[in-house]
Structure formats: C-alpha cells, structure tokens
Structure 1
Amino acid sequence: MGRGSGSRSLARVAVIVRAPAAPLWWLGLLAAGIGAALPGLTGRRIGLLAGAALFLATAATAFTARRKRYAHLARAASRAGKAVFLQDRAVTARTWRQARRWWLALAFPAAVASSLAAPGTAGLAMAGVGAGLWAKAQWLGGLERRTEALLWVRTEWAKGSPAGRQVHGYLTTGLAAGDAAPGGARRPRRPVGRAAVSAAR
C-alpha cells in the first residue's frame, strides 16, 4: 500500500461507521413511539424502563466494539498515493444503506411487533445502536484531528465492517481531502471560486 498503491477507490472509515447511525436512531425512536402507544404484556412502564436500560447497553456496545482494532489500523495507516479515487460521502453512505436496506426494512416492523410484549423496548435498543455508532464516528474524528490525517479504506475491503478481518490497512490523506469533515460529517461548503485542494494531500 502507500504511495505505490495505484488507482484504487477509497471510502472514508468514519463515513461508513456513521452511515447506519441516522436510520437506526430515527427508526428506533419511531418504533419506540409506536410501541409506547400499546399496552403490551409487561405494561408501558416496565417496557420503557427496560428499553432505556437496553438503549444504554446497546449504545455502549456499539461505541466500544472493535475500538482497539480501529486504533491499531489508524496507527499503522500509510499515506495514499495521488492516483487514488476518493469516494464521495453521499455515495459511501448510500452504498452501505442500499446493501442493507432489507435488514433495516425488517428491523423496524420487528421492533414494533415486539412492543406487543414489551412496549418500546426493541425500538429504544435500535436507537441505542445508532447513538453508539454516531459516538464512534465522533471518536474517529478526534483521532483524525489529532493526527491531522483522514482515514480511508479500500472500498472492496469495506463491504462488511471497516475494521473487519478483510481490512488489511488504512490509507491517509490530509484533512482537506474529500467532501467529509473529520468524523464523517458533511463538510461546510467552501466559498465559490476557492481552489480545490488535491484529494490525496
């Protein structure tokens, strides 16, 4: 890898981590809201209290999962060559969501249906996963700011997890590369007429 890596498509690590956060958060809250309108077998109070506990547990799990692996890959990252193609933030997020659209589509009705037993519990658990992934993306953004380098992964390696066994390493660029800020958020629009920064610097 490194400068001799050739022409390859790279996706931002933080954008991949952040991609499921919003769907899980909003679908989870919607499912919890619908569930709260149902009495359920346990009753609303017990269901929502259990859901709050699961929210905290799933958020903590999503935030801490594989953090050592992410940190190791970040420390061992090499500089991207100038021939690489940096995938847009929107394309990366859309690709992740499209590959898992059926999973997301099934998770929502399943969370609502579970409210017949414990109102709101599964929905709050879903929202907790979304919150944890958003927090992990912010943590990655902190790593990127401290090292003044954005973290990228080859798109063919990131079809599962951006920190899975199939990922052999990260590549880095300067903070100005691409259209996503540290942490994967949308970068503020640059003033019209300002020269674009080279993607791999």
Structure 2
Amino acid sequence: MARGGQGLARLAVVVRAGAAPLWWLGVAAAGIGIVPEGVTGRRIGVLAGAVLFLAGAAVVALVRRGRYTALARGAARAGKYDVLQDRAVTVRTWRRGHRWWLLLGGAAALGSAFAVPAAGGMLLAGLGTGLRLKAAWLGRLERAGETLLWVRVDWLDRRGGHPAGKAVKGLRGTGIAAGDAAPGGARRRTAVLV
C-alpha cells in the first residue's frame, strides 16, 4: 500500500461471509438427509436436528462477544492512505479461502444422515444462522458507536483468518457512510431518485 496504508476489510462482512453458504449447504443436506431412515429414524433425527440447529445458532452468535467488544472499544481511526476493501471482494476472498471446509462440512452432514437423518444439515444451517445473528449484533455495535469497524486484511490471512483471532491486534474505524456495506455487513441500499 502507498505511504504506509493498509488494506482493510469490514469486520461484519467477514463474519457474515460464511452465513449464506453454511445455511444453503445445511438446508440441502437436511433435505437430502431426510430420505434415508438412518439408525435413529426420521422423527428422532429431525428432533435432534432442531436441537442442534438452536444450539449451533446460539453458540456461534454468542461466542467471543467480549473479544469483539474489546476490539471495538480500542478501534483506531483509519488512516488517510488505508484502502477499504469492497464488500464483494471480502466475501469472495473468505469463501474462496474456506471452500474446502465448506465442502467437507456439507459432505459430513450428508454422511451423518445415514445415522441421524437431517441432523447434520440442520446443524450447518444453525451455524449459518448464528453467523448472521452475530453480524447483526456487530451492526448494532457499529450504529451505537457511529463507527464502522475494519480489520487489516493481512491479519485475516494468518491462522485461519478468524476476524477476532489472536493475529488481530486491533481494529480501525471509519465514519458510518464509508464503504459499500451497511452496518452489520449487508449490501448498502442506495436510494433511487425519480
């Protein structure tokens, strides 16, 4: 980067990037996984899947909230030469870097259907829902502080790219209108003038 600037990715976008693939893989795996009778039978499989869905969503949504809050509190102002990464680039990079984990998770969910029908797919869908809930919580945190939170891209490349991992030493903040993603990581809706 020119003059000491850093590449920055939106924190909420990184968190939210895995939500849609996990959800759709989970829905597909649960739909296909309902077909085999399995060891436990379909009824028990679906009930176990519902419990796993709720537990997975709750755990993912709540884990590391203290770390995210501490990082947000200590966020430094983004510099003049920092480069803000587009939402689409951040999502594509995350998904490309985690594609094998996503495929392995989908395959495991399908394979588990022969023991407990639909449960593995429902767990995956719950994990995706939890990521969406965590991104929404981050959006509320950003609105409350009137600051969008950004993480250095080079820190995301280390140790699996966790947005609140040990490699992340701090966050950067910008005004609420910066970048092309709204608080929480969703696409920014632009008003159409008539």
* Seq. identity, %: 60
TM-superposed CA distance for 1:14, in Å, is: 0.1
Which residue does 1:118 correspond to in 2? 116
Which residue does 1:65 correspond to in 2? 63
Which residue does 2:92 correspond to in 1? 94
- Structure 2 residue ranges without an equivalent (≥5): none
CA distance in 2, matches of 1:120, 1:27: 12
Letter in 1 for 2:185: G
Which residue does 1:33 correspond to in 2? 31
CA RMSD between the two structures: 1.2
Higher helix share: 2
Which residue does 1:165 correspond to in 2? 166
CA distance in 2, matches of 1:164, 1:103: 18
Letter in 2 for 1:183: G
Taking structure 1 as the reference length, the TM-score comes to 0.91
2:137 aligned to which of 117, 136, 139: 139
1:46 aligned to which of 38, 44, 47: 44
CA distance in 2, matches of 1:114, 1:174: 46
- Structure 1 segments of 4+ aligned residues over 3 angstroms from their partners: none
Q: Secondary structure at the match of 2:167?
A: coil
Q: Secondary structure at the match of 2:156?
A: coil
Which residue does 1:177 correspond to in 2? 178
Q: Secondary structure at the match of 2:149?
A: strand
2:107 aligned to which of 99, 106, 109: 109
Contact 1:6 1:81 in 2 (8 A): no
TM-superposed CA distance for 1:132, in Å, is: 0.4
TM-superposed CA distance for 1:105, in Å, is: 1.3
CA distance in 1, matches of 2:95, 2:191: 27
Contact 1:16 1:162 in 2 (8 A): yes
Q: Secondary structure at the match of 1:11?
A: strand
Q: How many aligned residue pairs are there?
A: 188
Q: Secondary structure at the match of 1:162?
A: coil
CA distance in 1, matches of 2:47, 2:191: 45
Q: Secondary structure at the match of 1:157?
A: helix
TM-superposed CA distance for 1:191, in Å, is: 5.0
TM-superposed CA distance for 1:88, in Å, is: 0.3
TM-superposed CA distance for 1:190, in Å, is: 5.2
TM-superposed CA distance for 1:65, in Å, is: 1.1
